[in-house]
Chains A and B, each alone.
Chain A
Amino acid sequence: MNETAGGIAVLPSADRESELRDAVRDALARRQPLRIVGADSKHFLGRSIDAEALHVAAHRGVLAYEPSELVVTARSGTPLAELEAVLAQEGQMLGFEPPYFGPGATIGGTVACGLSGPRRPFAGSARDFMLGVKLLNGRAEALRFGGTVMKNVAGFDVSRLMVGACGTLGVLLEVSLKVLPRPRCELSLSFEMNPSSVLDAMQAWASGPWPITALAYDDRLRVRLSGNEAAVQAARRRLGGEPADGGADYWRALREQDLPFFAGAADLWRLSVPPASRLAGLPGEWLYDWGGAQRWLRTSAPAAEVFAAASSCGGHATLFRTATASAVRFHPLEPLLMDLHRSLKAAFDPDGLFNPGRMYEGL
């Protein structure tokens, strides 16, 4: 009989480390590149690659969770929904509000892709909450880095290096993440606002002492306040606005790209920029999240133009979703920085087994 946590069925815990290690050892002997797969919910992210699948989802289960330590350790194949349900039972949560992009999303894939939701500028990113990792490197060695304590400067910070590396440096086996208490109360507000005033308004609020935990603009300016009831109401009295339709559902739909803005076939770009940046000249439709620091753009503009616009203000761009299979997906790196990426890749995965080319050609 399966257990449940908050209405979510908890699958039996299963240790597949030795099988995964054997599979990597076997691939190493055959020089066979591997495509690391959890639930494949984020298959669209990055370049498509032709390699043998290494399935990690069966390696699952929450290994340690002590609410007073604010730390959870789980095997990489643990479903994100299950992990979040376990945390919710203790009144806690993942502070970076990760997107799923599919019902089966695993914590390993979440960490490997390094994506964070609307709470990110106010609470921190996936990498900010990373405390420790166990991974298989390209020599099929199982290695542990970091740990389960809040502060740890022993050795290089390999744990955080794994976040957002898209599995190109190793197969994640276990991750330890810092967790946060859930706010007692959350309130979403929306405001009519002229598009030309939006960025200034966002920066003014983000520079103030308000308990803001999300700040976005589509056709309206939208704010989420979090804290105890008294503080949330006090902030609301000062900021004004109307309670937003749908409340929390809006932030889930924004995080999961379920809003109408995200429907359609035009290329979807993610621009990560200093939040006050004015990006004139790029044609297309915009949606601002992260108080202006993460901007979604639907455009048919050539990639070079989007990359150049993001670079010009000190940011970068990612072609997040596209129908063009051969497209460059991540922001091009300077040659010296690319050389260093190749050296680091070789340090972890000398035979280029893991997700070769998923981020950049030759990596």
Chain B
Amino acid sequence: MTHRSHPSEQLAHHVDKDAFVRALRRKLGPEAVLADPEDLRPYECDALSAYRTLPWIVVLPQSTAEVQAVMQLCHAAGVPVVARGAGTGLSGGALPVENGVLLSLTRLNRILAIDAPNRLARVQPGVRNAAVTEAVASLGLLYAPDPSSQIACTIGGNVAENSGGVHCLKYGLTVHNLTEIKLVTVEGELLTVGGMSLDAPGYDLLALLTGSEGLLGIIVEVVVKLIPQPASARALLAAFDDVVAAGAAVASIIGAGLLPAGLEFMDAVTLRATEAFVHAGYPVEAAAILLCEFDGLPEQVEADLAAAEAILVAARASEVRRAADDAERLRFWMGRKAAFPAVGRIAADYYCMDGTIPRRCLADVLRGISTLAEEFGLGVANVFHAGDGNLHPLILYDANRPGELEQAERLGARILQLCLDVGGTVTGEHGVGVEKIDLLCRQFPAAELAQFHAVKRAFDPHGLLNPGKAVPSLRRCAELGAMHVHGGQLPFPELERF
């Protein structure tokens, strides 16, 4: 399937490709600029592979100066630019544009400095997430955000998407674990945002840039915070005969004042697929399981475990199991981490959703998803970060059956609408990208979208950076009929609409 962006989000230019490739090669060297279709093919999609577009040109800079040179050339010529890390994103945020440069940051892959006394690491954007923790483990430190793709995904992409992970309930998202970003602006200038202190003067641009999906600049360096490794970690597995009871137990644990390091949910479909795949020892007859981990001093962990066990039993868990040792604890988690590939073995294709809802609505929304799945005649596997209400329903389909992908997309949109209806959001950690751009028309009224566009113009007046992603044009929303227009008036009526 070929993705086509909305006409109002396309940028036309008449730059001669051969001449532009020559200009780029003069700056970056011949092998760092790809222009032949067979060389471009690996970059045509990210991990949301249902959407594919062959880029115009791919560049592989090796230094900040080279990124600046690329941006200067593209800015002068009016050529759009899409930044890309490891391409593990699930929302098409790194989907190329057909007349644009795809800027791969994977060669900027060095850890530049580890500052143990200040508990900071300075890294380039192409450093893998897991490599940071590996590099500082011997110092008794770790980098907390741990998206499930952490062995492959890069820090630059994590910043662009504000990635979370299993442990963000206690340790925060990417935005909570950074102190500085070096950014190459659309004009090719180098800007330092934040610093090595816990806060910075002026506006909190670090927060604004985190999760901005490549729309505001190119991240070329990041300072991340490191935290001490916890003294101990223990995990519980609770089985339930009924999904609704499991959902209610989550709210009870948080409401009781406990702060688990991780609190994860898997339904029957997921846990059976996972058990068959990695033999984690899950109770396959259960309707749902919760995995609940506490970390800290052993005295604290022991008390929290006991409190959580009592809550889970009171919440009608059919079985509550403590991991006897670290090996069993890691086995519990191995199953959770293998859940997506395990589901991949039982369905030809799956489509991963990412809504976040208030925890108290978990039970109702799970029931709603199950009703919708029946209505659409498709299977749905539920596996998610229950502690922060971040759902990942996996819609099972077969792309080789005509119409089934479209059916899966329609079901996905209905599920996300359900999340909005209970006061949630269409994306908790995977980003909007191209995938959920229409849904943003539903989540935000026109005046808010216009304010986003004003922010975008402050960084990128001509809209060259990652066009057609993350923030929909008002025309796109108007055509969808999804825009909330107050009193018949578009906000900022004097502004050009594009």
Contact = CB atoms under 8 A, between A and B. Distances in A.
Interface of A: 66-71, 91-92, 114, 120-121, 124-125, 127-128, 137, 139, 141, 143-145, 147-158, 160-161, 163-165, 169, 180-182, 203, 206-211, 227-228, 230-231, 233-235, 272-277, 290, 293-294, 313-316, 318, 330-331, 333-334, 336-337, 340-341, 343-344, 346-348, 359-360
Contact of B358 (A145, A149, A275): A149
Contact of B201 (A66, A180, A333, A340): A333
> Among the interface residues B203, B296, B452, B457, which one has the most CB atoms of the partner chain A within 10 A?
B203
Interface of B: 115-120, 139-141, 161-162, 164, 168-169, 172-173, 175-176, 185, 189, 191-193, 195-205, 207-208, 210-212, 215, 228-231, 251-252, 254-255, 257-259, 296-300, 302-304, 356-360, 385, 388-390, 423-432, 436, 440, 443-444, 447-448, 451-452, 454-459, 470-471, 491-492
A145 B451 CA distance: 10
B427 A272 contact: no
B358 A156 contact: no
A120 B225 CA distance: 14
Nearest to B229: A209
B9 to A, nearest CB: 16
B207 A155 contact: no
- Nearest 3 Cβ contacts at the A-B interface: A68-B255, A314-B196, A160-B207
A341 B455 CA distance: 11
5 contacts: A144-B448, A160-B175, A275-B118, A344-B203, A344-B455
Contacts of B197: 272-274, 293, 314-316
Contacts of B359: 68-69
A91 B259 CA distance: 13
Contacts of A120: 198
A344 B356 contact: no
Contacts of B191: 334, 336-337, 340
A137 B169 CA distance: 32
> Among the interface residues A154, A208, A344, which one has the most CB atoms of the partner chain B within 10 A?
A154
Nearest to B457: A347
Given A155-B470, A347-B457, 10 more contacts: A124-B176, A151-B389, A151-B428, A153-B427, A157-B207, A228-B304, A234-B298, A275-B118, A290-B198, A336-B189
Nearest to A307: B201
A104 B220 CA distance: 44
A277 B425 CA distance: 41
> Among the interface residues B169, B205, B357, B451, which one has the most CB atoms of the partner chain A within 10 A?
B451
Contact of A230 (B300, B385, B432, B440): B300
Contact of A340 (B173, B210, B215, B459): B459
